[in-house]
Amino acid sequence: MFGSGSKITFRDYVQGTWGSFDTPAGRVDYIMTKARLGGDADAPERQLTKSLAPVREVMDAGDLDFSQLLQRDLDDHRVAVNLIPYLLKQMSTGPAFFPPIVAVLLPFQNKRPTSFPGLGAPIAVEHDEAQWREERAGNAFRVHRLLDADGELHAANLAKLWWNQSESSLVVLDGQHRAMALLAIERTLSRSWQGSGAQYRPFYEHQVEHLLNEHHVSEVDLAKIEVPVTVCWFPDETGETSRAHEAARKLFVDVNKEARPPSESRIILLSDGELSNVLTRSLLSALRGRSGTNLPLYAVEYDNPEINTSRPARWSVMTNIHLLKMAVNRCIYGPPKYLTNLAQPIGGREKAEERDRFMRTQLDLVSLLPEHLDDAGYAYDLGGIGDTKFPLGRSEALSGRFMETWGQAILTLLSQTAPYAAHAAALSNFKDSWHTANTHAQLAHDALFGGVGVYWTLRDSYDHYQANRAQGGSTPPKSDVIRAWEALRDKESEFDEHRAHEYLGSIRPDAIRRCKAAFGVFNTHACQLGMVMTLGSLWEMRKTQPGGADLKDLPAFAEALVAAWNTFFQIGHGRARDRRYSFSKDCSNPINQITNMDTPNAVYFRYFWMQALTLRSVWQHIALWLTDRDAFDSGLSDARRLYLDLCIKQQCKALEVSHPTLGPGKREERAKRLATNALKRALGHWFDVPDEEFEAWRASQPIWAQAKLPRDEEGPSGTA
């Protein structure tokens, strides 16, 4: 009954027990079956092992659309060190057991996501001397369900699924590490590492061969290794308007919601539950082809497996996916107080209603969507659309509006502002100059510029290697994986030279050191979000000025800001004052006194970015955009006062340690004087603010700021 049949035109198939269930992704049909190692090479269970595929092997990395990403990155180190030994080692307590792998049949052609042909009406057919009900989606896939003698579906629920590899791929949705363990063993045994999975061969082949020999594993033993597999498909997602890949993302989130929580990066890449995630992914997708002058995608870290990350881990990247989402949150959702009140620190609970209302304004949804609309049977009112309640069928329209306006403006700032343009250019030159003549060099190169997740595999593998060495005994030989990680470490200093040359025009040791210190600030969330929040705050000012603000002008306004800031960084390149170091702490009279780079401190960096605009040669680039200079100066004053308050608090804490005998009153008074004087010197040195102008500003502030600072309490002026 379960033979392959002579009339089958599909090469790949599975057989087992049929079932169906409803999920937030829609109706899901499935067959419960198994994959096997060893035994008859033509058996469907053995063929299923070969057919399972991680997303990274189904789609070209360069063609990756972040709206189509289905799963977490593979941890190859975990598979090689933990899962494969578990499968191959004879356990005294019984055989190894894996929970079911979940795989979904999705439409692909030439590694690009497509759609399935429409599913035809069910018909009765005879096959393998039995009656079946057949449903067929063109040449993509076909389903058979066993019928009883009365022509009704058999109570045993036996079924078969065939598919055509040229139009379909069986993508692992859950249990991809278990699936990769099977694939690694199968490919090593059959010498079939060629093709899309070849680059991952160094992680596995030696380990598998070693384990097979160590545990004396035979073909007979391998035939006993069977892993349950649930093969799913979406019968309602066929035809030209179908969205099988979107349904797969929803199913992934549903399957994993009770499992170990995925990293925040993965949630942003996968979840359609928040519009902010959809908009963030559109920023990444725009970088995929590096259109125009956008920074390259490999300058953004988006695959960090850690659950909580506040800054990029790779030394090569400039920013990460979390910063992009923060930029979306602050510019699109606000709340508006963080953009309009420049004396407002970030903190406290944010009201969803206020955030959603601001989003509808920032994207001008009234001109994009009708007042009432229906999406897949759900009714929406324009006034009720928000971050967690929005028509998924209009996602492209919403993303399009965002990218035409705020999205392009944000990418312009992150791509073209002098420090970030220098980092991106240096990284591209560094990539082009990298020679990959051997395996470990290629792995190191892929870790920074290619394979998603490779960097973390190299890191974990190296940590494991070092831990083994620390335990004593014989030193294990260095594999290509270990040499790749060591090559990455060595390459960091080479990249530092590229960046110093691009940003400063020098590769002298002192220039490289100071450049690295400067980018230790530029590449933080606080500094980058501060720059983006400057865009948001100044746009709010423009709304209140004569003529108001037209949303379509945002990208042009961002370009004007970039021209202004680049002028600031270009002037004053003398030894005494090089404004390219102006945000650094490794300089004379530093304006940056912030003790940590936590994201909420972006409001203080916003002040630095605004202060940079006040120089006459800089202001001329944005003068036509902000005709009411008084409004800008008022906001700048509020931002300066907020920053000075922070500096005073920090000075108080420092004096508690250095002068513990000072009483609270004297300590606060001295802290105010030290902080005020340091700010005065910094403003004069970096931003050409005359002493009399600063004193006039200070006189307009609360009474404490007017106290004169004794000369012996001025403190050091900073490092040269």
Find out whether 56 and 76 touch, Cβ atoms under 8 Å. Answer: no
Q: For 136, what's the count of Cα atoms within 13 Å in the CB-facing half-sphere?
A: 12
> Is the preceding omega at residue 335 within 30 degrees of 0, hence cis?
yes
The residue that leads in pLDDT, 69 or 405, is: 405
pLDDT at 278: 93
State the average pLDDT over residues 136-148.
Answer: 94
pLDDT at 436: 84
558-563 — which CB contacts under 8 Å span 24+ positions? 558/408, 558/409, 558/410, 558/412, 558/413, 559/412, 559/416, 560/621, 560/622, 560/625, 561/413, 561/534, 561/535, 561/613, 561/621, 561/622, 562/412, 562/413, 562/416, 562/417, 563/621
Task: Assess whether pLDDT exceeds 70 at residue 416.
Answer: yes
Chain mean pLDDT for the chain: 87
In this structure, the dihedral spanned by the alpha carbons of residues 643, 647, 648 and 653, taken in order and rounded to 10 degrees, is 140
Task: Assess whether pLDDT exceeds 50 at residue 720.
Answer: no
Find out whether 542 and 557 touch, Cβ atoms under 8 Å. Answer: yes
For 472: left if phi > 0, alpha if psi spans -120 to 50, otherwise beta; the answer is left
Task: Assess whether pLDDT exceeds 60 at residue 64.
Answer: no
The residue that leads in pLDDT, 382 or 69, is: 382
State the average pLDDT over residues 536-544.
Answer: 97
Task: Assess whether pLDDT exceeds 90 at residue 69.
Answer: no
pLDDT at 62: 54
Task: Assess whether pLDDT exceeds 60 at residue 341.
Answer: yes
State the average pLDDT over residues 39-44.
Answer: 78
pLDDT at 240: 87
State the average pLDDT over residues 384-403.
Answer: 95
pLDDT at 67: 57
Find out whether 242 and 116 touch, Cβ atoms under 8 Å. Answer: yes
Q: How buried is residue 644: exposed, middle or buried, by Cβ count under 10 Å (0-12/13-18/19+)?
A: buried
Residues in the chain: 720
pLDDT at 5: 43
pLDDT at 4: 45
Q: What is the pTM of this model?
A: 0.76
Find out whether 269 and 69 touch, Cβ atoms under 8 Å. Answer: yes
pLDDT at 63: 53
User: What is the residue whose two structure tokens read 């009140």?
Assistant: 341
Find out whether 601 and 656 touch, Cβ atoms under 8 Å. Answer: no
Between vectors from CA 374 to CA 373 and to CA 377, what angle results, nearest 5°?
165
In this structure, the dihedral spanned by the alpha carbons of residues 540, 541, 543 and 549, taken in order and rounded to 10 degrees, is -90
Between the alpha carbon of residue 282 and those of residues 225, 359, 396, 410, the distances in Å are 43, 16, 9, 12
CA distance 446 to 451: 5
Q: Specify the 3-state DSSP secondary structure of 168.
A: strand
Bridge-partner residues for 107, per DSSP?
168
In this structure, the dihedral spanned by the alpha carbons of residues 298, 564, 576 and 682, taken in order and rounded to 10 degrees, is -100
CA distance 53 to 68: 15
Each residue of 160-195: pLDDT tens digit?
999 998 899 998 888 888 889 888 988 888 888 877
First-last CA distance in the chain: 84
Find out whether 173 and 252 touch, Cβ atoms under 8 Å. Answer: yes
Q: Residues with Cβ < 8 Å from 246, sequence gap 6 or more? A: 67, 272, 392
CA distance 494 to 412: 27
CA distance 237 to 227: 28
Each residue of 224-253: pLDDT tens digit?
788 899 999 999 999 988 888 888 888 877
pLDDT at 497: 97
The DSSP annotation for 258-304 comes to TSSPPPHHHHHHH--S-HHHHHHHHHHHHHHTT-TTPPPGGGEE---
CA distance 253 to 25: 9
Structure tokens at 466: 């070092």
- Smallest CA-to-CA distance from 47 within 221, 138, 183, 232 is with 183
Q: At what angle do helices 602-612 and 554-570 cross, to 10 degrees?
A: 70
CA distance 380 to 374: 6
State the average pLDDT over residues 107-128.
Answer: 90
CA distance 550 to 562: 19
